[in-house]
A and B are shown apart, each in its own frame.
Chain A
Amino acid sequence: MFFLGSSVYYFLSNYSYADFYKRLEARVSVAEKRHFESNQRYAQVLKTIREEHLELLSEEKEYILYCPNAAAIKQLAEANSLPINFLKLTYTQQSANFQKEDIFYYGKKRETTKGFYFVIVSAKNYYNTHHLILLRKVLLVGGLISILFIIYLTNLFSKRFFDPIDNIITKVNSISTDNIHLRLDDIKNTDEIKRLTTTFNNLLNRIEIAFETNKNFISNASHEFGTPLTAIIGEADVALLKDRTPVEYKEALQKILKQSERLNKISQSLLFLAQIGYKNNKFNNTILRTDELILQANEIMNQLIPKNNIKIDFELLPENPKKLKVMGNKDLLMLAITNIMTNACKYSSNKPVIVSLASTNNEIVLIIKDQGIGIPESELPFIFDPFFRASNTAAYDGYGIGLPLTKNIIKIHKGELIIKSVQHKGVTVQVKLPIAAF
């Protein structure tokens, strides 16, 4: 800003000096021609031109001085109150510029046979004295105003940009485990800040879900372990209250055994879940035909739940058997499929369950549809949490390990498990597994 202003001022004032001397020079040459012209008419014309076309400068003075020799210069200068140095300069250089205070001089020496003349024009540079001062003022004031404006703008923008960030920082810092439900306020104006807040909020959502999952796991697990333990303790307490007959002891022990077995089963399946959860576990994979797998799973189901109503629908089976082959561990996949089928039969009280198989160009799609109680929509995000059981499953036996286990099995086969449900209408489980490459 400052640099621009001063350079404008510097170049303009330089130019105005040069320009002013040019104007003086023009006047000098006109005066010289007029004075020394022998043709009277021509001189008259020059005079008119001079009067009509060359404006009179402020305090303009014209001198035509006769000087017989160089020694007379000093005297001449004093007589006309001209600066002596200027006359001397003109004398040596034939023509010269000079400035004394605010008066500008231009002089020219004309030699004649009898000596020489000085033709001099002096004037005040009105432009310099007035215009340039005005320009200086304008530049200074303008510069100051624009600097103030810039400071104001910077303040405004930094407020706009950094205040929301400050707010976000304070808010995020205030969120801890006690108030994890808190979210950042929605900001409307700035795009980036808005994106930042939504990113933070999404992150918080995920963290909160993870938190909830953990909490659910602990409460569900302790409940699952607690129920059989309470039963065992209660049974033992009652048995020890007084002396019993051997038959009564046997009965009590059998009850205890039953509960202990249940406990054992839970802990074993939990262990299994944890093992499958580890990714580095190696399983011996073979190429399997999914249609065979489903038929075998159906046979197992017939043994497990003889009253089942599973219908296998191979209507959309691909013609090319290669498109049914997947790479995987047979036992694990069988476990996963029977798990889903068991759930479908269990929660629909043996209503028809339709199992369909099809394949796209790179995946086999297995769909298991039941007409059971369904899953409440609000609980769908938690169904893969260990020990989680939907609120409407109290009447059904189970301890919430089957589905997470199935999910893990599908995951290690690089597949996808999608569960969709409408409460009271049923659940549709979609399993997608990549087709084995040959």
Chain B
Amino acid sequence: MDKKILIPIDFRIESLNTLKYALEERKQEKSTIILMYSEHISDSITELLFYDSAKKIKALASSEFNDAIAIILNTYESSLHAIKIELFNGMNKNAFLNFYTAQRIDLIYLPKDYRLKPHKNGFDPIPLIKKSKVEYKEVAWASDHAYASKDELNQLFK
């Protein structure tokens, strides 16, 4: 039985380190990964009318980010079922619990020291997750300060 694991991301390669550590820890079991990006939804009716989460995700993910996901997929091919990216638009605890139930999440991994740096309209869902009283694990990895302002593939490596 594969487990569904939720990891909050900010579409920066650095945030995928949480995923790397989580997968390293769960190498023995097969898992499905949900990468969650949190974003405030627009108030505009026309924008809501043409809202397309797949398009949004495509616009947010840089080619380097996609490369990084491909690298992780290749590395953990046997223990990984799939990596999916989902958008979370909720504002409060209940909305997150809804998302959590709907996606049938089994476990959440959070970065311990890294602070998510979301793009425009995005927000950091970690305080919300911690308040929701669901099971989560924190992983600690060192953020590389020399390159902190950049978004580069090498941030995935030691």
Contact = CB atoms under 8 A, between A and B. Distances in A.
B76 interface: yes
Q: Is the interface of A mostly helix, strand, loop or mixed?
A: strand
A369 interface: yes
A156 B13 CA distance: 54
Nearest to B156: A316
A255 interface: no
Given A316-B157, A369-B157, A358 B152 contact: no
Q: Is the interface of B mostly helix, strand, loop or mixed?
A: helix
B153 interface: yes
B146 A422 contact: yes
B78 interface: yes
Interface stretch (A178-186, A337-345, A360-368): A360-368
A428 B74 contact: no
Contact of B158 (A313, A363, A430): A313
Interface residues of A, number: 24
Interface stretch (A138-146, A187-195, A317-325): A317-325
Give chain B's interface residue range (CB within 8 Å of chain A): 20 to 34
Contacts of B153: 365, 367, 430
Interface string B30-66: 0000000000000000000000000000000000001
A319 B78 contact: yes
Contact of B74 (A313, A323, A354, A425): A323
Contacts of B24: 315
A125 interface: no
A139 B75 CA distance: 83
A282 B51 CA distance: 53
Contacts of A359: 70-71, 74
Interface of B: 20, 24, 66-67, 70-72, 74-78, 146-147, 150, 152-154, 156-158
27 contacts: A315-B158, A316-B20, A316-B72, A316-B75, A316-B157, A318-B77, A319-B74, A319-B76, A319-B77, A323-B74, A354-B157, A356-B157, A358-B74, A358-B157, A359-B74, A360-B66, A361-B70, A363-B67, A365-B71, A365-B153, A369-B154, A369-B157, A369-B158, A426-B146, A428-B152, A428-B154, A430-B153
Interface of A: 313, 315-320, 323, 354, 356, 358-361, 363, 365, 367, 369, 420, 422, 425-426, 428, 430
